[in-house]
Amino acid sequence: MFVYFITMTEEKKDTEQTIKEAAKKIFLVNGLKGARMQAIADEAGINRAMLHYYFRTKDKLFEVIFSDAMTEMNQRMGAIITSDLPILKKIEHFVHGYSESAISNPEFDLFIINEFRQNPTYFDEMMKTSNAGTVIKGFASEIEKAIDKKEIVGNPNQIFLSIIALCIFPFAAKTMVRTMLGHSEKQYTKLLEERKDFLMQFIIKAITP
């Protein structure tokens, strides 16, 4: 009897984890509205009813997946930004770190941009409660300080916006850019790999006095 209970618990954990991984995959590609419970079930190798048994509703499942993804993201970015380094080094770390994580998670950027757009108030709330807001504001204020110290030149918000644009856009608009350039998947991956170094040159030239 006891053994049976343990087994059930472990199986439950496994199934829950399997569902989460499947759901993450499907939600990242299709968004909340675009994702189909059937697709998640197929991906997890179970049937739809199981999804509801474990997570009650589609919205609740999404909520879990999404806050997990955000937490993971914040931790990664936070570690880079809050490190104790001169501004150019910090930007370099940010650019490299961001590119690395985006390469292994290429759907994330466009997903976030779209979900933000569709539910601004939800994210507004989240920015206040999570540490994402702190991390970003920290980075922005570091840029501001560096401008005051004449280490770099320009408007802080514009510089911040430009850095994230240069990092994020190639992933968010991947399909569009690939089509525009007429690149294969492989060619474009190479472009993104090489971009890590290109970007540092580009950004440093643009913002040093």
The residues of the shown chain that bind a second copy, judged by CB under 8 A, are 33-34, 110, 112-114, 116-117, 120, 123-124, 127, 133, 136-137, 140, 154-155, 157-158, 160-162, 164-166, 168-170, 172-177, 179-182, 191, 194-195, 198-199, 201-203, 205-207
- For residue 37, give every residue at least 6 positions away whose Cβ sits within 8 Å of its Cβ, in sequence order, or none: 48, 51, 58
User: Quick one: DSSP state of residue 114?
Assistant: H
d(CA 64, CA 202): 38
Choice from 29, 56, 125, 176 touching DNA (CB under 7 A) = 56
First to last CA, the chain: 73
List the x/- string, 4-23, binding to DNA by CB under 7 A: ----xx-xx--x--------
By the rule CB under 7 A, 59 interacts with DNA:
yes
What is the rounded radius of gyration, in angstroms, for the C-alpha atoms of the chain?
20
User: Contact, 208 vs 153, CB < 8 A?
Assistant: yes
**Cβ nearer to a second copy, comparing 53 with 198:** 198
Q: How far is the CB of 60 from a second copy (least distance, A)?
A: 21
Task: Choose from a second copy, DNA, none: what does 117 bind? Cβ within 5-8 Å by kind.
Answer: a second copy
How many C-alpha atoms does 120 have within 13 Å on its Cβ side?
1
Q: Which of 29, 49, 153, 204 is in the footprint of DNA by CB under 7 A?
A: 49
Are 40 and 23 spatial neighbours (Cβ–Cβ below 8 Å)? yes
CA atoms within 13 A on the CB side of 164: 12
What mask of x and - would describe binding to DNA in positions 161 to 200, judged by CB under 7 A?
A: ----------------------------------------
The pair of structure tokens assigned to 17 is: 């984890």
Using CB under 7 A, list all residues that contact DNA: 8-9, 11-12, 15, 35-38, 46-50, 52-53, 56-59
